[in-house]
Amino acid sequence: MRKKIIENCKTLFYALIIALFIRSFFFQPFYIPSSSMEPNLLIGDRLFVSKYSYGYSRHSLPFSPKIYSKRIFEKTPKRGDTIVFKTNYKNDDIFLIRILCNLFKSCKTDYIKRLIGLPGDKIQFINGNLFINNFEVSKTKIGEFQNFGLYVEKLPNSVSYKAIYDEKSDRWKDSDIYNIPEDHYFFLGDNRDNSKDSRYLPGPGYIHKNNLVGKAQLIFFSNDKKKGSLFKFWRWNHSVRTERFFEKIK
């Protein structure tokens, strides 16, 4: 009996090591808890993020241990990428707080947004339109999404995606100029008037390259919480969005 328990413990230990290895260096699952990336990512989407896309930093590992201050095998992200990153949380260097944040999800230091500004760029909103380095980003209205204007935006590198704007709000008609520092990036949510992104994040909101966690690649599961909990499997025929399974993230 004792031998069987020991063998089971060994199997569990090896399985845990393999899972941590895959999570740290290849793919990590993430859950979308808010509407900030609508219409492209919905509340209840579960997706895989590739950890190798931009190289590795301490944030690639569980609890972000402060064992290395740079990136290994660094690769430059592209404008328009949908990226998971760590915020400039003031207590991020306190190891115990990082553990509690991960265990209880209370600090919410993981964000997912779209990369808009690269180091050296100048970002500004003028009359409700996005400008990058004094050039207006192409924006074409294609319809409505939950009473908001639905647009297709096309960035200077020809990456296009859907974005929504609250056309009744004057909140972001005009903005200050954001000058992106060296080794930092500027992020926006696709739900432009309902996103806590680089316009609001503390620190200021420019994200250092070492805070990049990975690139969002694929939705592997999606459940509409308004129609039923994930644990109420008898409601899955109403709540599970099968049409979103294995959808590539743009």
Concerning whether 225 is annotated as a catalytic residue, the answer is no
Catalytic residue of the set 36, 195, 222, 239: 36
Residue 173 half-sphere exposure, CB side, CA atoms within 13 Å?
A: 6
ω into 39 cis (within 30 of 0)? yes
b vs e for 42-73, b when ≥16 Cβ sit within 10 Å of the residue's Cβ?
Answer: bbbbbbbbbbebbbbbbbbbebbeeeeeebee
In terms of C-beta density within 10 A (0-12 exposed, 13-18 middle, 19 or more buried), how is residue 127 classed?
A: exposed
Question: What gap in Å lies between CA 6 and CA 92, rounded to an integer?
Answer: 37
Token look-up 């990058």 returns: 132
Concerning whether 113 is annotated as a catalytic residue, the answer is yes
Kindly list the distances between the CA atom of residue 17 and the CA atoms of 69, 159, 206, 213, in Å, as whole numbers in the listed order.
24, 38, 34, 20
Catalytic residue of the set 51, 86, 113, 209: 113
Active-site amino acid positions: 36, 113
